[in-house]
Amino acid sequence: MSQKVHSMKKFINDPEKVVDEMLEGLLLAHPDQLKSVRADNRALVRADGPVKGKVAIATGGGSGHLPLFLGYVGKGMLNGVAVGDIFASPSSQQMLDVTRAIHGGEGVLYIYGNYGGDVMNFDMAAELADIEGIRVETVVATDDVASMPKGEEDKRRGVAGMFYLYKLAAAKAETGASLEEVKRIAEKANKNVRTMGVALSPCILPAVGRPTFEIGEGEMEIGMGIHGEPGIQRGQIESADDVAKSLISSILRDLPIQRGSDVSILINGLGATPLEELYIIYRAVHKLLEEKGINVYKRYIGEFATSMEMAGLSVSVLKLDDELKELLDAPFVTPFQVQV
């Protein structure tokens, strides 16, 4: 057993084994819900899969973002996930193994965030699956408004708003819809969702042992990515109400929403930010939208896509219509989240 002494403020053993040991803990904790289909545990699928006769949905990405990505595998949600090292893409072979294990005969949809390594590896996995006669379609999440200007939406990063692509596409797949229809819903969700984040402190990569960047004592950074990618504005920490106003303004400038519309709101904690603060932000967001005549049909408040112990949060807005509302209301069960 590795018992290296380390001085990081983390509960880990060997920094190089964080992901392996986390996955081992996860599989010991949830054997009724998740199973591994590789000796390295980097391909996890629903314990009750594959589901015959339905489109299967897979995701994947680097570790360090729990419950993203693997936390969204479960009934009424995704069928499988490829798990990379901290902030690193899984391999195409790991993704291919997921694809094989979840295929129920009706094709597989890949949904993941728009990061170079992931795109390359998942595209290769899709090609390899195709050779084996498994139809694969792909929808890449690009909800992070701050990551590229308007007009270049398809180059944006995927962040917490990806939750909605998962949720809605999975609910559609559950109805027995075709691969084309499930893909259409994931694309529609991506088109209708925007996210803006703000960070107060960095996170520490276990294998590095120190913060990946610095934010000054009284400072915050708006638009920072979930791996510490630079944001669009650094300055003094503002009040919660002003932060909410800034994030919502950026989102609504990018995705105009008419008075009388219904939306879903996701207030996502990046790691260290307490739930109390997420509710103070929700209060401000709710009121801002109310002033604009926009109705919050359903909200999610908690940790959905983290960056280990980073302090910060993001706000996602999803524009709803009747079709999306019905899909959003469908139940799901994962080891991390349950909606009844």
Whose Cβ is closer to its own copies: residue 55's or residue 222's?
Answer: 222
Assess 12 for contact with its own copies (CB under 8 A). Answer: yes
Among 25, 105, 149, 209, binds its own copies (CB under 8 A): 25
Among 105, 130, 149, 279, binds its own copies (CB under 8 A): 279
Please report how close the Cβ of residue 258 comes to its own copies at its closest, in angstroms.
22
Assess 336 for contact with its own copies (CB under 8 A). Answer: yes
User: Which tokens go with 10?
Assistant: 């983390």
Q: Is 12 helix (H, G, I), strand (E, B) or coil?
A: coil
Whose Cβ is closer to its own copies: residue 24's or residue 152's?
Answer: 24
Total binding residues toward its own copies, as defined by CB under 8 A: 69
Would residue 65 show up in a list of annotated catalytic residues for this protein? Answer: yes
φ and ψ at 285, to 5 degrees?
Answer: -65, -45
N-terminal to C-terminal alpha carbon distance within the chain: 41
Please report how close the Cβ of residue 142 comes to its own copies at its closest, in angstroms.
25
Assess 7 for contact with its own copies (CB under 8 A). Answer: yes
Q: What sign does the dihedral 88-91-97-100 (CA atoms) show?
A: positive
User: Which tokens go with 107?
Assistant: 């094709």
SS3 per residue for 225-268: CCCCCCCCEEEECCCHHHHHHHHHHHHHHHCCCCCCCEEEEEEE
Assess 283 for contact with its own copies (CB under 8 A). Answer: yes
Whose Cβ is closer to its own copies: residue 39's or residue 131's?
Answer: 39
SS3 per residue for 148-195: CCCCCHHHCCCCCCHHHHHHHHHHHHHCCCCHHHHHHHHHHHHHHEEE
Would residue 227 show up in a list of annotated catalytic residues for this protein? Answer: yes
φ and ψ at 196, to 5 degrees?
Answer: -130, 135
Interface ranges with its own copies (CB under 8 A): 1-13, 18-19, 21-26, 28-29, 63-64, 66-67, 200-201, 217-218, 236-243, 271-284, 286-287, 299, 301-303, 306, 308-309, 311, 313, 333, 336, 338-340
Instruction: Give the active site residues.
Output: 65, 227
